[in-house]
Structures are given as C-alpha cells and as structure tokens.
Amino acid sequence: MPHKFYHGKTGRVFNVTKRAVGVIVVRNRTIQKRINVRIEHVKHSRCREDFLKRVKANELKRKQAKERGEKVVCKRLPEEPRLGHFVRTGGKEPELVEPIPYELCDMNLRHLLVSVCEVVLS
C-alpha cells in the first residue's frame, strides 16, 4: 500500500527503535498489519481523554457520596428533549412551504422538466 493510505489510521505500538516505532494498524484483518513509522509521523491518540476524565470525575463522585452515605449514579444519560415553548413571529404570518408537485413526463422531455425545476428553485 502507498504510504498515504495509512494517514489518519490508528494503531498500537509494538516496537520502539532509535528513530522509528513499529505500529500494528487497527483494522479487521486475520494477520495484523505491522508497519514501521518514523517518530515525526506519529502522534498520540486523544480518543481516550474524555473517557479518562469521566473515570476521574466518577471516582471523585463515588468518594464524596460514600462519605455522605448516599448512592450515586455514574451512568451517562442521553440529552433530554428541550421543553415546549411558544415561538414569537414578530407580527409576521407563518408561511406554508410545500414541495413542487411531481408530474409524470415523457422520457425524452425529462431534461426540459429538470431545467424548469432548476429555474423555479433558483
């Protein structure tokens, strides 16, 4: 594979030398792909930062809850829907927007219909 194929790929370091590191590329393969990459082309993955931050925060919550004798829920919850509210129009009437009705046409005239739709839409 050309070297540009591996740009942006993630992997796990299996070997460290003076100027390069050996990386096992993360992909779905029976035989794992091992490549040697110079150090200037490698950067540490930031994918676990949020997870590690959450682990520390959860440990702190557990510790504080244990001191108070309470139970704490550390599970992540999905964002709830926004509450209902009224929208002010500022004196303007709402406009009804509808799609352009579909018309059956002859196959030879399709290009004309497409150009007419483009003119109407633009």
Range 90-102 average pLDDT: 88
User: Can you give the residue ranges of every domain in the chain?
Assistant: 10-41, 45-74
Q: pTM of the prediction? A: 0.52
Residue 115 clears pLDDT 70, i.e. is over it: no
- Could you give the strand order of the β-sheet that contains 11-16, starting from the edge strand earlier in sequence? 11-16, 20-25, 34-38
- Give the pLDDT confidence score for residue 49 in this predicted structure: 95
Give dist(CA 104, CA 115) in Å, integer: 15
How buried is 51 (Cβ within 10 angstroms: 0-12 exposed, 13-18 middle, 19+ buried)? exposed
Q: What is the pLDDT of residues 46-78, one digit of tens each?
A: 989 999 999 999 999 999 999 999 999 999 999
Q: Are 55 and 72 in contact (CB under 8 A)?
A: no
Residue 106 clears pLDDT 80, i.e. is over it: no
Residue 120 clears pLDDT 80, i.e. is over it: no
Mean pLDDT over the full length of the chain: 86
- Across the chain, the runs of DSSP E, i.e. the strands, are 11-16, 20-25, 34-38
